[in-house]
Amino acid sequence: MVLENTKYIWSCLKALLDKTGFFEIALKQYVTVIHKGRIKIMYGKQINPLVSVIIPAYNSEETIEAAIYSAVIQGIDVELVIINDASLDHTADIIQNCQEKYDSDHIKWNIIDSRENLGAAASRNLGVKLACAPYVAFLDSDDWWTEEKLKKQLALLNRTGGVLCSTAREFATHQGELTGIIVPVKPIITYRSLLYDNSINCSSVLMRTEIAREFPMLHDELHEDYITWLKILKKYKKAYAINEPLLKYRCSQGGKSSNKLKSAWMHYHSLRFVGIPPLSAFWHFLFYMVSGILKYRKVKRKR
């Protein structure tokens, strides 16, 4: 009886809050995450961030601080949406230490601890759902940015009216040493050019939040980010890019791209998933294989 009365009171209260708009106002100060029976409420500062930075992290104790620090020093108001994806190491402790160490009036922290391992795609999607800024940027926990990255990308998108912007990247070793090897990008990326080469690296992307919500990342068993970029460019025609290595990309030993045969298989099936006919997908796959071999041969030499 008590439980039923409690449910009734809560439903009436929620209806009142929704009707008055108070619930929406409260969400600007507090973020509530309910996942697998776990409720976490986090305080958020009264700032209006320009960019929500989505950082999924799994067993990232060795690299997560560099990623967080690079997002903190962007010189604009940002929201950090960090999803600790059921890590088994000390990732959670390091994230907490970073919050205490790097907190400022320009940073809004939103840290989610997931009891279940969601995977990178689902973690990013969760981050996008929680984002409160007009733009979202993706950053893997083993990569990092240069200081001016987000400012330069925002300026380009504001100037062009584009929905998505990427950058060139510089390879780093697993230990974080820069190699001097830079993967350039063309200033405009079209759907057709993207079929030949996935030149949009996920950790380099800044895009409008509503577009990220329109095209969530699906099929973690494939290149889920590549599928998303193809869908976006098919509808919005083009993306913009800055040909500067504003992203430092760590060649991790356990990532999807570390196994080249598996990565190639995923690339082909990603093309098939978005509707490319088998023969055409095979042709684009061959081009991807050749360019990939040439690109990563340079990295191995440098190591």
- What distance separates the 2 farthest-apart alpha carbons in the chain? 72
> Which tokens sit at 224?
């889920």
Residue type, 99: Q
Q: State both tokens at 74.
A: 């962007």
User: What pLDDT is attached to residue 180?
Assistant: 95
Average pLDDT, the chain: 82
Per the model's pLDDT, the better-predicted residue between 111 and 223 turns out to be: 111
Task: For 91-130, write each residue's pLDDT tens digit.
Answer: 999 999 999 999 999 999 999 999 999 999 999 999 999 9
- pLDDT at residue 19, as a whole number: 41
Write down the pLDDT at residue 198.
86
Q: Is the pLDDT of residue 32 over 70?
A: no
Of the listed ranges 101-105, 133-137, 260-264, the least confidently predicted one is 260-264
The label of the residue with tokens 């990603």 reads: 270
pLDDT value at 24 more than 50: no
pLDDT at site 33: 43
Q: Model confidence over 35-58: pLDDT tens digits?
A: 443 334 444 567 899 999 999 999
Predicted confidence band of residue 251 (pLDDT cuts 50, 70, 90): confident
